[in-house]
Amino acid sequence: MSMEDALDTFIAEARELLEQMESALLRLGDGDNSAETMNEIFRAAHTIKGSSGLFGLNDIVSFTHKVENILDRAREANIVIDDNLLTLLLKCGDHIGVHVDAVVKGISLTEEQELKEQQLVQALQPWLEPDDMGTTTAVEDDSSSSSNQADLGCWHLSIRLSQDSLRNGMDPLSIFKFLQTLGEFQYLYTLHDELPERDNFSPESLYLSFELGLQTDASRETIDDSFMFVREDANITLVPPRSAVDEYIKLIKTTTSGQDKLGEILLACGAITGRDLDSSLNEQTQQLFEEGIKTPLGSLLVDEGKVPAVVVKTALEQQQEKQVRGSATRFIRVDAERVDQLINLIGELVVSRQRVDLLCEYTSNDDLEEAVDGMGGITEQIRDAALNLRMVSIGETFQRFKRVVRDTAGDLGKDIELVLEGSETELDRSMVESLVDPLTHIVRNSIDHGIEQVEVRLERDKPARGQLKLAAFHEAGNIVIEVSDDGGGLNTERIRQKAIDNGVINANETLSERDIHQLIFDAGLSTADAVTNLSGRGVGMDVVRRNIESLQGTVDIASSEGEGTTMRIRLPLTLAIIDGFHVSAYGTHFIIPQNTILECMDFNSVEHVLGRNSINLRGELVPYLELKSLFALYGDKSEPEKLVVVSFGSARAAIVVDVLHGEIQTVIKPLGPIFQSLKGIGGSSLLGSGEVAFILDIPQLINSAVTLETKKNGLSEDMTP
């Protein structure tokens, strides 16, 4: 692994650890005071500090060390993390993220950011240990042997790094500097047995080895993590002190964690690391394959100096009393761009398969048709498997709003509980990224405008603590995300008057309650009494609707004055490859997403409502749109007109077309900037024949059909979605 690759890994892991740290801190604020949660917070900060030290990022090490000290004191129950300290620790986590971002950009902190760090350090002082926590016991006798040092708590480290370490950009001194933050060196011997003759010497190669005595209270895993970026081709042996051996034996005898395998028992008590175990298991397998002999794992660990024999003996004695807990799921980290590239290639495969299908229709070869059908089935499986790679749970996005709600409610002096439902619901990764901003606008507006102050809620016989709920679920091939609050609801008359004052609607215009609610999405419309840092300028909700519509989705409002408001976002599951239905009108090809289609019929087979662009579909009025007039198509009809009835949510409409070609796998391609203002088209696709088909944006078409009929004929709200 090169230095650049190692740094990229550090950055990715640091960001993940910061997210875990924030999530655990918020759980702590919700009352989860378990030791596991405290350890999770501490480990996150400790790992970030350790990894930073390996790369010489001393600014991160220095700041994170102070945070780590406070977390360690809280973990040992020497201090209590109250609401004030919790808020401060969250801000410290944000500032560590600022440091990581600076590393990514290759810049230093600004003066403002450095001042912020000084303020945070000053704020941390009341919770820090009065004396120097980094002080370690001095060596009483420099001539004492390493074995005596070990009895005092000294680890022995035998370090054999790869000769390519320097060439890969890793400075061994950075490892020693970090080890010094864990404790005190008792001895350090440099071995030069591998130094070559002068003619064979390379200044880019590392020929030195080291024997080190480290007096520390740190765990084996913590010490071992110091070498995480140089492990490849290195040989690192850790010999624990006598005090650590006694602790391992005590843990083995008292643990009730349920492991029944020797390696798991040793791993659980901290006597070995996961890397130690994997290395010995690989050695065991290799011996079995090459020599036909399976050396016991315990013997290998002892022979390799990874575990003292007495610890292995104790673990073996306890082995029969343990039960299997289960193996941990393993994951691999894949660059998102590689997944996107795979999706694009599969899209090309889908188009090529359509071309093969068309060519196959002109042959009379049964064997060829059977082979093509088989290839089609495999193509669909590959497509679904690849799309699943891009599907992620929305839970991670929901979790970040715990912090948003906490901070925003705190700024406004409100007490608000966030409830999450359906966090396991999955959708396309690209959509998750695009949803963050609109959801943030909606959540902040719900907190600012929706949920009342505590005293107002008490006057209205409501609980003092308001509730904001984020929910996600699948419905009819779409994903629905709801943001609900139990606040004051929307004041319909006030919104209407504000719209009249702003010239959005006429004073004599009659609108349904739903239409009035939709007015809050118009730019510049706000009913806030005063402009605040959060809202009141009428900026944000129009952006919300624009962003949702760009994802071929809709956003609706259900509100009851005095009781609360629900914002409902409805989106397709993916914007990459979909199952579509191929139709055409006046020679132009269109694709309708298959999950929106209810039924197809002849245009003249249903009753038409006189004077209206509507049909009577089994007693229900359904508006319809003609693609010819909507998109100014010209040419001749090839067949009698057909109707395709579509739905999105509870709304329905019909689309008039000429030809129903049938089901088709569709690769969605975005339209160019010149077509961005074109309503009713969500993208394009290339057919197997080489012709271009336009993908219809069903939510926009349904809205257009309903709005047109409502305005034209003064229909009731029953036709509105």
Query: Number of structural domains, the chain?
Result: 5
Q: Is residue 113 part of a domain?
A: yes
- Taking 90 as the threshold, does the pLDDT of residue 140 lie above it? no
Same domain, 379 and 402: no
Half-sphere exposure of 443 (CA within 13 A, CB side): 29
The two tokens of residue 680 are: 């009713």
Same domain, 606 and 503: no
Least confident interval from 102-111, 254-263, 456-465, 668-677: 254-263
* pLDDT mean across residues, the chain: 79
Same domain, 221 and 347: no
Q: Return d(Cα 167, Cα 303) in angstroms, integer.
A: 32
Identify the CA nearest to 134 among candidates 179, 63, 169, 183. 183
Pick the last residue of a domain from 572, 605, 640.
572
Q: Which of the residue ranges 94-103, 311-320, 477-486 has the most confident prediction, judged by mean pLDDT?
A: 94-103
Same domain, 104 and 49: yes
Least confident interval from 60-69, 459-468, 674-683: 674-683
| Residue of higher predicted confidence among 204 and 155 | 204
What does the pLDDT read at residue 247? Answer: 58
Same domain, 98 and 163: no
As a whole number, mean pLDDT of residues 287-291 equals 71
Same domain, 290 and 348: no
How far is the CA of 402 from the CAs of 190, 444, 595, in angstroms?
51, 12, 33
Task: Provide the CATH number for the domain around residue 54.
Answer: 1.20.120.160
Q: Is residue 328 part of a domain?
A: no
Q: Is residue 386 part of a domain?
A: yes
Q: Is residue 601 part of a domain?
A: yes
Residue 697 pLDDT grade (very low, low, confident, very high; cuts 50, 70, 90): confident
Strand locations in 192-247 (E): 209-216, 235-239
Same domain, 532 and 628: no
Summarize pLDDT for 501-534 with one digit per residue, the tens: 887 788 887 777 888 888 888 755 655 554 455 5
Q: Is residue 326 part of a domain?
A: no
What does the pLDDT read at residue 527? Answer: 53
Q: Which residues pair with 593 in a beta bridge?
A: 580
Range of the domain at 13: 3-127
Residue with tokens 């059909």: 705
What does the pLDDT read at residue 336? Answer: 74
What does the pLDDT read at residue 85? Answer: 92
Q: Which residues pair with 428 in a beta bridge?
A: 391
Strand locations in 109-224 (E): 154-160, 183-191, 209-216
What does the pLDDT read at residue 326? Answer: 34
Q: Which residues pair with 171 in a beta bridge?
A: none
Residue 145 pLDDT grade (very low, low, confident, very high; cuts 50, 70, 90): very low
How far is the CA of 312 from the CAs of 257, 320, 326, in angstroms?
17, 14, 21
Q: Is residue 348 part of a domain?
A: yes
| Residue of higher predicted confidence among 141 and 162 | 162
Angle (deg, nearest 10), helices 83-105 and 395-412: 120
Same domain, 585 and 565: no
Same domain, 555 and 636: no
Same domain, 157 and 304: yes
Pick the last residue of a domain from 515, 537, 572.
572
582 neighbors 591 (Cβ within 8 angstroms): yes
581 neighbors 594 (Cβ within 8 angstroms): yes
Same domain, 473 and 360: no
As a whole number, mean pLDDT of residues 638-662 equals 85
Residue with tokens 């889908």: 350
Same domain, 48 and 190: no
Summarize pLDDT for 374-433 with one digit per residue, the tens: 888 888 888 888 878 878 888 888 888 888 898 888 888 899 999 999 888 888 887 888
Q: Return d(Cα 584, Cα 561) in angstroms, integer.
A: 46
Pick the last residue of a domain from 572, 604, 630.
572
